[in-house]
Amino acid sequence: MPLNLGLVVGVVTVLLVAMGTTIIAWSARSPSRGAVPRRADTLMDAVGQAVVLFDAEGRVVRANPRWYELIGRSPVEVVGVRPPFPWQSTEGPDDHVTRPDGSQVPVLGTTAPVPGARGGSVATYLDITDRRKIEDALAEQAATLERGNEQLRETNRRLERAAAFKNDLMALVSHEMSQPLSSSASLAELLADSWDTLPEDTRLDLTLKIHRNTRRLVGMVNDMLLLFHLDSGTVTARRTPVPVGEAVDVAAATLPEGTEVERRLDPAVDALADRNHLEQIIGNLLANAATYGQPPIEVVSGRDGSGVRITVTDRGPGIPDEIRQQLFERPVRPKATGTGSGRGRGLGLFIARHLTEVNGGRIWYERAEPHGGARLLVWLESTATD
């Protein structure tokens, strides 16, 4: 059964009150220590707690050796002292006593009035240093356990997000890969079975379709590999000054034939980025606009503080509200409405976000006003050109 320190202190205090009545009465008759009954002093000395007696004016009348040891002072320094007492620091906590060297001892204290006409009080103090150390150790262990639990919860949250991402990615990839694979297989079978009877222009057309499907699959595989590298943190950026116009030209060349891109680019501001990354970032933004938006598609660049802002705007319906919050967080694929004929893989903006962050930039979405549509913006550090 655990020891109830409060109960022990209370019982001892009751006994000491009776003893204190005797001591204070004898002290009033004769200030000399020898006048105090020996059995009272013996009882005080035998108590394991620190005991101190005060008269009605608050002066220290008697104390036992445990009290002097606790406060680090001699009887000469204590007896007759009035409050405020030097061992009661106004800067420290109330449940501590202060020694001459400034150190503080945690105590469990109880004060009770001494009955009788002369008044006074008796106080007992129990040094709880060891108990406080145990409490502090338990508190630290509890805090360590809570930190571990929080780390575990965060790990579980990351695993849940990773599992959701994997499921979304697998569903997206399986859907996207099935169409070009089955189409290429059917076209190849038709060519193999009817090569001799097919006109040359038909054979060429079917071969080009297989080629386009193959390139689409290669692009999907490359995106998947890039995602794995981004997820593992192995992608690094070799940043150099890159003219934004050059990156736009390379990116626009990958769009479906006939896709027009209007340009308003500041030639005096280069982006400080990995050239290949910048080309892919802009390419993914343009592909998103071509697939899910409506022409005209416009690319604008210009200085923004210490960096360059690149904006890609289309005139389509904009990003649906239900996917706007997760636009850059996980693979999403809204219904295609633009010139890309639904060929977007749903990975472009997700990859663009990670590549932008690898290059020290940020990416976000705004509703294009006043005509509507989607506006995707990228900010990167820049260098000014002459």
| pLDDT per residue as tens digits for the range 110-162 | 888 887 757 788 888 888 989 889 999 999 999 999 999 999 999 999 888 77
pLDDT at 385: 58
Measured between alpha carbons, how far is 56 from 164 in angstroms, rounded to an integer? 75
Band the pLDDT of 232: cuts 50, 70, 90: confident
pLDDT at 278: 95
What pTM was computed for the model?
Answer: 0.55
79 — phi, psi (to 5°)?
-65, 130
Can you name the CATH fold of 240-384? Heat Shock Protein 90 (3.30.565)
Measured between alpha carbons, how far is 107 from 127 in angstroms, rounded to an integer? 5
- Least confident span in 30-34, 199-203, 238-242, 275-279: 30-34
- CATH 3.20.20.70 assigned to domain 5-127? The reply is no
Sequence-ordered alpha helix ranges (H) in 195-315:
200-232, 244-252, 275-292
CB-based contact 277:237 (threshold 8 Å):
yes
Q: How far apart are the first and last CA of the chain?
A: 84
pLDDT at 316: 84
Does 10 score more than 60 pLDDT?
Answer: no
The ranges of the chain annotated as CATH 3.30.565.10 are: 240-384
The pair of structure tokens assigned to 189 is 């079978």
CATH code of 162-232, in short, is 1.10.287
| pLDDT per residue as tens digits for the range 328-349 | 876 655 555 554 444 444 678 8
The ranges of the chain annotated as CATH 3.30.450.20 are: 5-127
Which of 188, 179, 189, 253 has its CA nearest to residue 217? 179
The ranges of the chain annotated as CATH 1.10.287 are: 162-232
CB-based contact 291:255 (threshold 8 Å):
no
pLDDT at 281: 94
